[in-house]
């Protein structure tokens, strides 16, 4: 399953994403983590030191490699210069799987405390004042458009804060979106804004309460989000220790909070795949971007990249890559 963590800045979404990843890792589940947040804190939350975090390779700096690999023998794409963040897969493309050996993972994925992680990369000096961060997360969208995740496999993405996720079609690339929500008016505001944007796209949103101190906090969340509240995490000494740089084993997480992680996994595991909708939405946002800017930038009608008879679901059922070459 493909899983996103979203929420207001400071709500604890990166912390909960790291805890969920370490929970899956402890169970030896096949998992790939992606940090697509501009702040790039997921590696540290998983236990990487600052020098290790700084040394991580980035998806942004390897975008040409990513495009070249995914393009494969796709006859609809004459060159990698015609590939944009929304380019969908077709029968000539290469696809990605959660656990495999490929040049993208070799260049971009590193293991931290048992979790395989790829990072988008922070703003560089050349980006400041002239670039949009969403151009950097385009590598993530492109990879997810070519990703076939099998049964019992997980791709977990720590997204940008607030409603910034809606600056591209990336928000539609997930089977479950966990919206981390504090018991505050501002956090509830982000929740309502997110649901308002997502409601027309079939996005499955589950609210995870965070930093719950007492019954009043819980009652506030229940009153504000209703049935969308899946579970909650109380204020945690385990988390506070991690914020001081002491990353403890996931088995030391408070029992009631570990149970919240199990509840989240149960929801994910019980959610069905809809490969046709996944492909339809990839096509929809590809056409939107083509008409808005990409046709002009590439000098081609990028609608020609769409294979109307292809879905990634066919690849998943076949159990083999579209093109293993």
List, for residues 149-175, the tens digit of each pLDDT value: 988 999 999 998 877 777 778 999 999
- Joined tokens for residue 310: 């292809």
Asked if residue 304 has pLDDT above 50, the reply is yes
Measured at the CA of 272, the angle between CA 268 and CA 275, to 5 degrees, comes to 120
E strand or H helix at 115: strand 115-119
Report d(CA 264, CA 115) in Å as an integer.
18
Residues 6+ positions from 111 with CB-CB distance below 8 Å: 117
Asked if residue 52 has pLDDT above 60, the reply is yes
Q: What pLDDT score does 123 carry? A: 53
- Joined tokens for residue 69: 């690999």
Phi, psi of 209 (to 5 degrees): -70, 145
Average pLDDT over residues 126-151: 73
Asked if residue 317 has pLDDT above 70, the reply is no
Q: What pLDDT score does 231 carry? A: 98
Pick the closest to residue 66 from 93, 37, 100 (CA basis): 93
Asked if residue 226 has pLDDT above 80, the reply is yes
Query: How confident is the model over 1-47, as pLDDT tens digits?
Result: 999 999 998 899 999 999 999 999 999 999 999 999 988 899 999 99
**CA-CA-CA-CA dihedral for 122, 20, 174, 291, to nearest 10:** -10
Q: What pLDDT score does 74 carry? A: 93
Query: How confident is the model over 257-291, as pLDDT tens digits?
Result: 999 999 999 999 999 999 999 999 999 999 999 99
Average pLDDT over residues 290-310: 94
Contact 206, 230 (CB under 8 A): yes
Contacts 24+ apart (CB under 8 A), 132-136: 132/167, 133/38, 133/160, 133/164, 134/160, 134/164, 134/167, 134/168, 135/85, 136/59, 136/60
Q: What pLDDT score does 166 carry? A: 78
Q: What pLDDT score does 165 carry? A: 73
pTM of the model: 0.92
Asked if residue 319 has pLDDT above 70, the reply is no
Report d(CA 42, CA 76) in Å as an integer.
36
Using the structure block, give the residue that is written with the tokens 């405390």: 113
Asked if residue 132 has pLDDT above 80, the reply is no
Q: Residue 200: CA atoms inside 13 Å, Cβ hemisphere, count?
A: 6
**CA-CA-CA-CA dihedral for 290, 37, 32, 149, to nearest 10:** -30
């Amino acid at each position: 399953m493909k899983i996103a963590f979203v929420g207001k800045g400071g709500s604890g979404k990166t912390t909960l994403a790291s805890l969920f990843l370490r929970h899956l890792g402890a169970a030896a589940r096949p998992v790939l983590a992606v940090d697509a947040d501009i702040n790039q804190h997921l590696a540290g939350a998983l236990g990487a030191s600052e020098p290790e975090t700084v040394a991580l390779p980035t998806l942004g700096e390897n975008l040409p490699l990513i495009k070249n690999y995914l393009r494969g023998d796709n006859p609809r794409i004459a060159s990698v210069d015609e590939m944009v963040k929304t380019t969908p897969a077709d029968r000539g493309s290469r696809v990605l799987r959660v656990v495999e050996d490929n040049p993208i993972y070799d260049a971009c994925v590193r293991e931290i405390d048992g979790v395989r992680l790829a990072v988008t990369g922070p703003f560089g000096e050349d980006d400041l004042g002239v670039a949009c961060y969403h151009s950097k997360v385009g590598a993530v969208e492109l990879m997810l458009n070519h990703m076939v995740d099998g049964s019992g496999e997980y791709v977990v993405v720590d997204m940008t804060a607030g409603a910034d996720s809606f600056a591209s079609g990336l928000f539609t690339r997930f089977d479950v979106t966990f919206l981390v929500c504090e018991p505050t008016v501002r956090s509830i505001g982000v929740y309502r804004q997110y649901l308002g944007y997502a409601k027309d796209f079939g996005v499955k949103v589950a609210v995870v309460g965070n930093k719950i101190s007492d019954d009043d906090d819980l009652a506030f969340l229940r009153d504000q989000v209703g049935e969308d509240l899946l579970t909650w995490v109380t204020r945690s000494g385990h988390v506070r220790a991690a914020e001081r740089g002491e990353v403890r084993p996931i088995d030391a997480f408070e029992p009631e909070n570990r149970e919240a992680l199990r509840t989240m996994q149960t929801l994910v595991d019980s959610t069905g795949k809809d490969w046709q909708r996944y492909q339809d939405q990839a096509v929809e946002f590809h056409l939107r971007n083509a008409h808005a800017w990409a046709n002009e930038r590439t000098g081609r009608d990028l609608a020609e990249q769409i294979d109307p008879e292809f879905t990634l679901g066919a690849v998943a059922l076949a159990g083999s890559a579209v093109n293993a070459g």
